[in-house]
């Protein structure tokens, strides 16, 4: 009998409180800005231990790392929301950066590129055949990128092949093709106008005494550069496309229930093809920013764990791997968190292996979080 | 007789809408309690609270007199409560015996300690099956069993766990009449053993026949309760919908016109349908009756362009149709499929998002989607189809009851003003109130000049609503009846191709 009364008292006391805590947890977890709060919390917790974390130089560095990753992740967000995945984005970055450099480089050393199959046709000692013509290079990149996306999308949509397989094969072949083009060499001597797209600064800040007529360049910290403008403009445009257009809602519908979408008159195949083209185009814009910063076209630019960063940032933001659920804003916060994570891990003097191990664990945590959010979304009002 | 389970002022809110409120009810031990109510009356929510799937917002439950607040399905199972659902929770790739012992296989002792004792498992499984009169070898895999046999396996599992309260939720939906009879005998047997049963069903005659007491839920409240003997079907319906059911079927607003909306001539697809010709006129509701597998749903898919026809022609308003579903939707066709979860809804998307999908391109302006207009359209649809829901812009369709989900599937087509609406089993798994509302929507669309092709295996609803009924059998249209000639016997004879009269009546709703 005592046990019963105790249990009664227990439930009476505990029930409302656990309810309140659960509801509060749900509000935070289900917020669009959850990952932003997470990033800020992470930043504040680590600030006392990593004194360089909050310096203007590091913050400028953080931002400049974020822009290209963001641009690529935007495309991945669209593909995932439509229920797919694009593993070929890294390879597209390698190929398009190489193609642009081969066309517009202003000079090329024969001892480096002499053995490349494109030597003498696309590029020679005096540079590429469109040496210095930045816009030609960019248009060519976009065309090559769009072509890869079109092939991916067509195979997925028309032949109903799994996106994972299609883009895995694309990743292998496109990447190998890029490496073959230059025999794995980088192409340098990019025109200044191109380099400025990645490094050009528009607003910079300087913290220090005003006693010198000229401020040394390395003490100037970029706040807004050309890369930032490109990335922000693309983010806003794609946010609008996903949230405020019929096409965007159809992307969500295809990811949520392809059969229902088809019956409802959604042009399912067209949506899938366009989503993969969009993803490859985003990767291409990412390639511009990365190769401009590097001041070289590099066939292996998007290799290694780059894909981990893109998919990790997108999933951590909250876009579902199963499709039907994705927001551009989520990806912005996901990229912010991922860049912050890489940055802090670097500061802790961890080896590259340790860094990847931690990143892997974080992606796992993000996947678990996705499951938890889904459960919460279903059980609370 | 004491109560094995008692609800005290129990309440649960979903998205600010109470699904169950102030519910106080005893489940008497050793009896069968029939629980009825429309979709959305709160039955599922109540079951989820008993099963530890959701937590009550208010009030409490008492299990054998003690406070009972299960945090998980496992806790409910441990307490001695078992659920037999519409969708069974079995592993179809495992054997009957493995399914029975999945949460605790008998182990060997001695040298092979820890390994599964297959012999003991088979013997014990055979014993359990025998108690239910199920004559299948325990080593058969589940996917070789008929739906009714699978259900008995599920019941055997409840017996194995020594469940003292067994809850049946629409258990007869996928059973043949013979299997249903056997199930009822098993339920009688469970009661004779002293077990308690809660029986939930839309088939009111069954509930009355099986139950000792009946409880009726409406809008989350207990509105009627008493011994089954005092309940007749009219009282059950009156309590469920809160009014007398003067007419489930609406008076048809307007007589059909003469202009054909849909003209099908000689449509064929090998092995599916053969030489189908039919016409649906303006404002007409054409019923399509047929048994399971007669090709009705396949015909609908062909008409919609989801599958390719080998020959024949489909014209909509005089223009031949060739393209896929997108072209057909744009030229004025709409299709409500028989399985709303798989082909009708985005379950995790909001109600508004679902309602806006077919007409999404029409909400598009130069500055993108007009979200104000989408919201206003959704709100207007809430009224038109009488949707019982919370915030349309936040509540996912998954959180709606079956009947309300179906209203979303139909409602989403209304903004595109379809010229031809194909309804495939639109009232399957839908309660009587929502049913009559769905019929009213069909009538209203017809009155506005749309043609409606209504596929159903329920003859009663076709006869109550349609202007004409075509009967399909083995991929062909074998007969057509105009309203004055509607007669159950003749429709059935046509469906069975007369002469060869079968042993059983047509299985209603056994496809899903």
**pLDDT winner (highest mean) among A3-7, A355-359, B421-425:** B421-425
Q: Has residue A349 been placed in a domain?
A: no
Per-residue pLDDT, averaged over A113-142, amounts to 92
Strand order across the B420-424 sheet: B333-336, B420-424, B451-456, B285-290, B468-473, B476-482
pLDDT at B501: 39
Q: Has residue B35 been placed in a domain?
A: yes
State whether residue A379 sits within 8 Å of chain B by CB. yes
Please indicate whether, in this complex, the C-beta atoms of A257 and B345 are within 8 angstroms of each other. yes
pLDDT at B183: 87
Q: Has residue B414 been placed in a domain?
A: no
Higher pLDDT, A225 or A221: A225
Higher pLDDT, B399 or A372: B399
Tokens representing residue B344 in the block: 């009708």
Please indicate whether, in this complex, the C-beta atoms of A244 and B329 are within 8 angstroms of each other. no
Per-residue pLDDT, averaged over A230-250, amounts to 97
Query: Given pLDDT bands bounded at 50, 70 and 90, which one contains residue B467?
Result: very high
Q: What is the DSSP string of B340-387?
A: HHHHT--TTSBHHHHHHSTTGGGGEETTEE-HHHHHHHHHHHHHHTT-
Q: In Å, how far is B58's CA from the nearest CA of chain A?
A: 9
Please indicate whether, in this complex, the C-beta atoms of B398 and A378 are within 8 angstroms of each other. yes
Q: Has residue A340 been placed in a domain?
A: no
Contacts of A374 in chain B (CB under 8 A): 348
Secondary structure (3-state) at A197 = helix
Contacts of B399 in chain A (CB under 8 A): 378
Contacts of B353 in chain A (CB under 8 A): 249, 252-253
pLDDT at A380: 52
Q: Which of B349, B352, B358, B296 is nearest to B325 (CA)?
A: B358
Q: Has residue A341 been placed in a domain?
A: no
Query: Given pLDDT bands bounded at 50, 70 and 90, which one contains residue A227?
Result: very high
Q: Distance of alpha carbon A317 from its chain centroid, rounded?
A: 11
pLDDT score of A244 more than 90? yes
Per-residue pLDDT, averaged over A177-198, amounts to 93
pLDDT score of B9 more than 90? yes
Give the total residue count for chain B.
512
Tokens representing residue A33 in the block: 């800005």
Q: H-helix or E-strand containing B5?
A: strand B3-14
Least confident segment among B178-182, B387-391, B435-439: B178-182
Cβ atoms of A218 and A149 closer than 8 Å: no
Query: Given pLDDT bands bounded at 50, 70 and 90, which one contains residue B25?
Result: very high
Contacts of B330 in chain A (CB under 8 A): 265
Please indicate whether, in this complex, the C-beta atoms of A4 and B14 are within 8 angstroms of each other. no
Please indicate whether, in this complex, the C-beta atoms of A256 and B348 are within 8 angstroms of each other. yes
Please indicate whether, in this complex, the C-beta atoms of B363 and A377 are within 8 angstroms of each other. no
Cβ atoms of A315 and A334 closer than 8 Å: yes
Secondary structure (3-state) at A329 = helix
Tokens representing residue B421 in the block: 């609406």
Please indicate whether, in this complex, the C-beta atoms of A11 and B55 are within 8 angstroms of each other. no
Q: What is the DSSP string of B424-480?
A: ESTTTT--HHHHHHHHHHHHHHHHTT-EEEEEES-HHHHHHH-SEEEEEETTEEEEE
What are the tens digits of pLDDT across the range B301-310?
A: 999 999 999 9
Q: Which of B136, B180, B152 is nearest to B90 (CA)?
A: B152
Q: In Å, how far is B60's CA from the nearest CA of chain A?
A: 9
Q: Has residue B400 been placed in a domain?
A: no
Q: Has residue B287 been placed in a domain?
A: no
pLDDT at B195: 93
Q: Has residue A100 been placed in a domain?
A: yes
pLDDT at A16: 47
pLDDT > 70: what percent of chain A? Answer: 93
CA-nearest residue to B390 within chain A is A381
Establish how many alpha carbons lie within 13 A of residue B417's alpha carbon, considering only the half-sphere containing its beta carbon.
Answer: 4
Q: Which of B375, B438, B436 is nearest to B405 (CA)?
A: B438
Nearest CB to B66; choose among A4, A19, A324: A4
CATH number at residue B208: 3.40.50.300
Contacts of A15 in chain B (CB under 8 A): 55, 69
Please indicate whether, in this complex, the C-beta atoms of B361 and A15 are within 8 angstroms of each other. no
Q: In Å, how far is A13's CA from the nearest CA of chain B?
A: 13
Contacts of B367 in chain A (CB under 8 A): 244
CA-nearest residue to B305 within chain A is A263
Least confident segment among A58-62, B94-98, B355-359, B426-430: B426-430
Neighbours of A251 (CB within 10 A): 29
State whether residue B14 sits within 8 Å of chain A by CB. yes
Tokens representing residue B174 in the block: 């996928």
Bridge partners of residue B95, in order along the sequence: B141
What are the tens digits of pLDDT across the range A264-319?
A: 999 999 999 999 999 999 999 999 999 999 999 999 998 888 998 999 999 889 89
Cβ atoms of A359 and A308 closer than 8 Å: yes
Task: Tell me how many degrees the CA angle B142-B147-B151 measures, rounded to the nearest 5.
Answer: 80
pLDDT at A238: 98
Full domain range(s) for residue B74: 3-241
Q: Has residue A333 been placed in a domain?
A: no
Q: Has residue A317 been placed in a domain?
A: no
State whether residue A261 sits within 8 Å of chain B by CB. yes
Count, in order, helices (H) and strands (E) of chain B.
17, 22
Per-residue pLDDT, averaged over B245-252, amounts to 72
Please indicate whether, in this complex, the C-beta atoms of B357 and A379 are within 8 angstroms of each other. no
Chain B 248-307, residues with CB within 8 Å of chain A CB atoms: 304, 306
Q: In Å, how far is A340's CA from the nearest CA of chain B?
A: 32
Q: Has residue B154 been placed in a domain?
A: yes
Residue with tokens 């922000």: A232
State whether residue B383 sits within 8 Å of chain A by CB. no
What are the tens digits of pLDDT across the range A26-85?
A: 777 778 888 898 899 889 999 998 989 988 889 988 999 999 999 999 999 999 999 999
Total number of domains in chain B: 1
Query: Given pLDDT bands bounded at 50, 70 and 90, which one contains residue A8?
Result: very low
In sequence order, the 6+-apart residues with CB closer than 8 A to the CB of B281 are B256, B257, B258, B259, B260, B261, B451
Nearest CB to A260; choose among B16, B66, B343: B343
What are the tens digits of pLDDT across the range A9-39?
A: 333 334 445 567 777 777 777 788 888 988 9
What are the tens digits of pLDDT across the range B188-198?
A: 999 999 999 99
**Mean pLDDT score of chain A:** 88
Contacts of B344 in chain A (CB under 8 A): 260, 263
Chain B 36-75, residues with CB within 8 Å of chain A CB atoms: 54-55, 57, 60, 65-67, 69
Q: Which of A270, A232, A266 is nearest to A249 (CA)?
A: A266
Q: Has residue A350 been placed in a domain?
A: no
Instruction: Return d(Cα B164, Cα B216) in angstroms, integer.
Output: 23
Full domain range(s) for residue A255: 51-201+219-302
What are the tens digits of pLDDT across the range B65-113?
A: 999 999 888 889 889 999 887 666 788 888 888 888 887 788 777 777 7
CA-nearest residue to A265 within chain B is B326
Tokens representing residue A147 in the block: 């072509």
Contacts of A325 in chain B (CB under 8 A): 348
**pLDDT winner (highest mean) among A284-288, B45-49, B435-439:** A284-288
State whether residue A371 sits within 8 Å of chain B by CB. no
Instruction: Return d(Cα B198, Cα B180) in angstroms, integer.
Output: 16
Q: In Å, how far is A249's CA from the nearest CA of chain B?
A: 8
Interface contacts A/B by beta carbons within 8 Å: 101
Give the total residue count for chain A.
381
State whether residue A263 sits within 8 Å of chain B by CB. yes
Long-range contacts from A45-49, C-beta under 8 angstroms, 24+ separation: A46/A344
State whether residue A193 sits within 8 Å of chain B by CB. no
Chain A 310-369, residues with CB within 8 Å of chain B CB atoms: 324-325
pLDDT > 90: what percent of chain B? Answer: 50
Q: Has residue A244 been placed in a domain?
A: yes
Total number of domains in chain A: 1
Contacts of A328 in chain B (CB under 8 A): none
Bridge partners of residue B276, in order along the sequence: B267
Tokens representing residue A324 in the block: 């039907």
**Mean pLDDT score of chain B:** 87
pLDDT at B357: 96
Letter string b/e over residues A342-355, b meaning 16 or more CB atoms within 10 A of that residue's CB: bbbbeeeeeeeeeb
Contacts of A266 in chain B (CB under 8 A): 326, 357, 360
Please indicate whether, in this complex, the C-beta atoms of A11 and B369 are within 8 angstroms of each other. no
Query: Given pLDDT bands bounded at 50, 70 and 90, which one contains residue B471?
Result: very high
Least confident segment among B23-37, B115-129, B316-330: B115-129
Contacts of A378 in chain B (CB under 8 A): 396, 398-399
Cβ atoms of B465 and B454 closer than 8 Å: yes
Nearest CB to B361; choose among A11, A244, A246: A246
> Mutate which of B16, B325, B399 to disrupt the A interface (most A C-beta within 10 Å)?
B325
Q: Which of B253, B300, B255 is nearest to B282 (CA)?
A: B255
What value of ipTM does the predicted structure carry? 0.85
pLDDT score of B382 more than 60? yes
Per-residue pLDDT, averaged over A96-102, amounts to 95
């Amino acid at each position: 009998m005592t046990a019963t009364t105790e249990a009664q008292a227990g439930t009476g006391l505990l029930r409302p409180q656990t309810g309140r805590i659960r509801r509060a947890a749900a509000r935070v977890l289900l917020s669009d800005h959850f990952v932003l709060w997470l990033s800020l919390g992470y930043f504040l917790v680590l600030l006392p231990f990593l004194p360089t974390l909050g310096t203007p130089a590091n913050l400028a560095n953080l931002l400049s790392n974020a822009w290209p990753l963001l641009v690529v992740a935007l495309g991945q967000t669209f593909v995932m929301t439509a229920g797919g995945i694009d593993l070929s984005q890294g390879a597209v970055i390698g190929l398009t950066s190489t193609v642009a450099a081969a066309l517009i480089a202003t000079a090329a050393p024969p001892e480096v590129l002499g053995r490349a199959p494109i030597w003498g046709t696309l590029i020679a000692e005096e540079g590429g055949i469109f040496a210095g013509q930045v816009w030609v290079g960019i248009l060519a990149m976009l065309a090559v990128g769009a072509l890869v996306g079109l092939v991916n999308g067509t195979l997925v949509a028309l032949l109903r092949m799994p996106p994972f397989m299609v883009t895995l094969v694309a990743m292998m072949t496109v990447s190998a093709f890029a490496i073959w083009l230059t025999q794995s060499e980088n192409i340098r001597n990019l025109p200044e106008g191109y380099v400025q797209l990645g490094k050009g600064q528009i607003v910079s800040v300087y913290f220090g005494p005003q006693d010198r007529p000229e401020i040394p360049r390395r003490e100037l910290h970029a706040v807004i550069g050309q890369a930032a403008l490109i990335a922000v403009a693309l983010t806003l445009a794609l946010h609008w496309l996903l949230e405020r257009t019929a096409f965007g809602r159809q992307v969500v519908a295809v990811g949520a229930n392809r059969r229902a979408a088809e019956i409802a008159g959604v042009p399912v195949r067209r949506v899938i093809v366009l989503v993969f083209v969009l993803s490859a185009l985003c990767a291409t814009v990412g390639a511009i920013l990365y190769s401009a910063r590097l001041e070289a076209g590099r066939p292996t630019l998007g290799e290694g764990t780059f894909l981990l960063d893109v998919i990790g940032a997108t999933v951590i933001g909250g876009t579902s791997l199963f499709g039907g659920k994705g927001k551009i804003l989520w990806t912005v916060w996901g990229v912010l968190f991922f860049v912050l994570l890489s940055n802090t891990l670097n500061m802790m003097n961890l080896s590259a292996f340790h860094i990847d191990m931690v990143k892997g664990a974080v992606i796992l945590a993000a996947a678990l979080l996705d499951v938890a959010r889904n459960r919460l979304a279903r059980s609370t009002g | 007789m004491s109560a094995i389970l008692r609800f005290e002022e129990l309440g649960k809110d979903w998205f600010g809408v109470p699904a169950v409120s102030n519910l106080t009810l005893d489940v008497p031990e050793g009896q069968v309690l029939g629980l009825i109510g429309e979709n959305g009356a709160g039955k599922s929510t109540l079951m989820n609270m008993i099963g530890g799937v959701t937590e009550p917002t208010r009030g409490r439950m008492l299990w054998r007199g003690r406070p009972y607040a299960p945090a998980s399905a496992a806790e409910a199972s441990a307490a001695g409560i078992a659920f037999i659902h519409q969708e069974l929770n079995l592993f179809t790739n495992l054997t009957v015996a493995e399914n029975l012992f999945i949460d605790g296989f008998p182990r060997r002792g001695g040298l092979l300690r820890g390994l599964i004792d297959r012999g003991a498992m088979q013997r014990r499984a055979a014993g359990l099956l025998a108690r239910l009169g199920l004559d299948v070898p325990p080593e058969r895999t589940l996917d070789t069993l008929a739906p009714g046999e699978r259900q008995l396996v599920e019941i055997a599992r409840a017996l194995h766990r020594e469940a003292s309260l067994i809850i049946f939720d629409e258990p007869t939906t996928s059973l043949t009449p013979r299997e249903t009879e056997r199930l009822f005998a098993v339920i009688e047997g469970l009661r004779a053993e002293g077990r308690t049963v809660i029986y939930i069903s839309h088939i009111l005659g069954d509930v009355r026949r099986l139950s000792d007491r009946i409880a009726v839920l409406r809008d989350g409240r207990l509105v009627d309760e008493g011994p089954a003997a005092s309940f007749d079907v009219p009282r059950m319906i009156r309590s469920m919908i809160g009014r007398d059911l003067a007419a489930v079927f609406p008076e048809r607003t307007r007589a059909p016109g003469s202009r054909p909306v849909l003209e099908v001539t000689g449509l064929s697809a090998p092995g599916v349908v053969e030489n189908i010709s039919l016409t649906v006129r303006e404002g007409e509701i054409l019923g399509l009756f047929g048994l399971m597998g007669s090709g009705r749903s396949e015909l609908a898919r062909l008409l919609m362009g989801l599958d390719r026809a080998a020959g024949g022609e489909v014209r909509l308003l005089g223009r031949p149709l060739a393209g896929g579903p997108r072209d057909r939707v744009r030229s004025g066709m709409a299709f409500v499929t028989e399985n709303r979860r798989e082909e009708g809804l985005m379950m995790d998307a909001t109600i508004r998002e679902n309602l806006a999908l077919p007409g999404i391109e029409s909400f598009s302006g130069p500055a993108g989607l007009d979200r104000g207009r989408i919201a206003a359209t959704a709100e207007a649809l809430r009224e038109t189809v009488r949707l019982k829901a919370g915030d349309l812009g936040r509540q996912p369709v998954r959180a709606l009851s079956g009947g309300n989900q179906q209203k979303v599937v139909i409602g989403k087509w209304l903004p595109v003003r379809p010229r031809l609406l194909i309804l495939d089993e639109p009232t399957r798994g839908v309660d009587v109130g929502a049913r009559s509302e769905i019929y009213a929507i069909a009538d209203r669309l017809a009155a506005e000049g749309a043609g409606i092709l209504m596929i159903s295996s329920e003859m009663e609803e076709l006869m109550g609503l349609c202007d004409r009924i075509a009967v399909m059998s083995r991929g062909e249209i074998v007969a057509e009846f105009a309203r004055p000639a509607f007669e159950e016997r003749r429709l059935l004879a046509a469906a069975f191709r007369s002469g060869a009269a079968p042993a059983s009546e047509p299985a209603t709703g056994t496809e899903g």
